Structure 1
Amino acid sequence: MPAPADPPDAAAGATGPTGPLPPSARVRVVPTARAAVRRPSRTEEIDAGTPLGEAYVRSLLREQLRNGLVAVAVLALTVGSLPAVFYLAPDLAGVRVLGVPLAWAVLAGAVYPFLFVIGWVVVRRAEAVERDFAELVAREAGEPGGGDRR
């Protein structure tokens, strides 16, 4: 008695009444239309420019603007006030640090590390604001990873 025929191997390809089908004639299984009908996520709302998405983006931009303005204010009050300090205290013009006038030493030596620190703080704050924004959007959408990680 002959052995029963083996079912077609999925790896070998689909078979039709006349034998194996060419790859282009295979049937592709796609999700139903019902699965495509769903509520858009918060990120899609933001991308689509919906009123809610625009409110989220406005709040992000407002916070980033606030961070930038604070940095500019700190810079203006410290470095920007140096000319006034040297004008109002003319005795400082005669002070020398390592043979260099104090005004030049401050402008050439102390300002650049200070600018670096301000820049570093601004970048850290901007990253924190963006991370909080992403967590808020994920939490509102009910996506995984949207929990509070603090």
Structure 2
Amino acid sequence: MSGDTPQRVRVVLADIARPPRTAATRAELTEQTHVGDALVRGLVRAQLALALRLAAVVVIGLGGLPLLFAVAPAVAKARPFGISLPWLLLGALAYPFLFVVGWAYVRLASRAERDFTDLVERP
């Protein structure tokens, strides 16, 4: 008969399942509460600020060249490698510049999203 008795189970307070903080934060996001809305607005605001900063870099970097050529006609008449400097800067070097700015944006935006995910999934 001793084989028929159920084994004793020890219950410890730490074994009681409590919802982790990540579940609560995820619920805030999915239910679109004020806290979840503030978290998402913070992410969008961070990415918008990043986009505006890099857009300013492009506008100053590329938009400033025609202004430079108008102010300093000697620079506009320079011919390195037999090519007009405005053509060289705006026609050839603008593309690597835009590529680097785009690469930087993707890298920094991914970092912002990773930070947001870490914040949401933090225990």
What displacement does 1:95 show?
Answer: 1.1
Following superposition, the deviation at residue 68 of structure 1 comes to: 0.3
Counting matched residue pairs gives 103
Unaligned 5+ runs, structure 2: 1-18
Please identify runs of 4+ aligned residues in structure 1 that moved more than 2 A: 38-41
Q: What is the deviation of 1:47?
A: 1.9
Tell which has more relative contact order, 1 or 2 (C-alpha 8 A, sep 6+). Answer: 2
Root-mean-square deviation (Å): 1.5
Q: Deviations over 1:109-140 (max 9, x none)?
A: 1111010000001100000000000000111x
1:86 aligns to 2:59 (yes or no):
no
Q: Is 1:45 matched with 2:22? A: no
The residue aligned with 1:128 is 111
Q: Choose from 33, 39, 60 the match for 1:56.
A: 39
Deviation of 1:79 (Å):
0.7
When normalised by structure 2's length, the TM-score is 0.78
| More strand as a share of residues | 1
- Aligned partners of 2:30 and 2:57: how far apart in 1? 34
Q: Tell me how far apart the structure 1 counterparts of residues 35 and 89 of structure 2 sit (CA, whole Å).
A: 49
Q: How does 1:1-150 map to 2 (within 5 A)?
A: 41-139=24-122, 142=123
Relative to its length, the structure with more helix (as a share) is 2
SS at match of 1:79: helix
Query: CA–CA distance in 1 between the matches of 2:69 and 2:100?
Result: 23
Which deviates further from its counterpart, 123-132 or 44-53?
Answer: 44-53
Aligned-pair identity (%):
42
Structure 1 unaligned blocks of 5 or more: 1-37, 143-150
- 1:97 Cα deviation (Å)? 2.4
Which structure would you say has the larger Rg?
1
How many Å apart are 1:44 and its aligned residue?
2.6
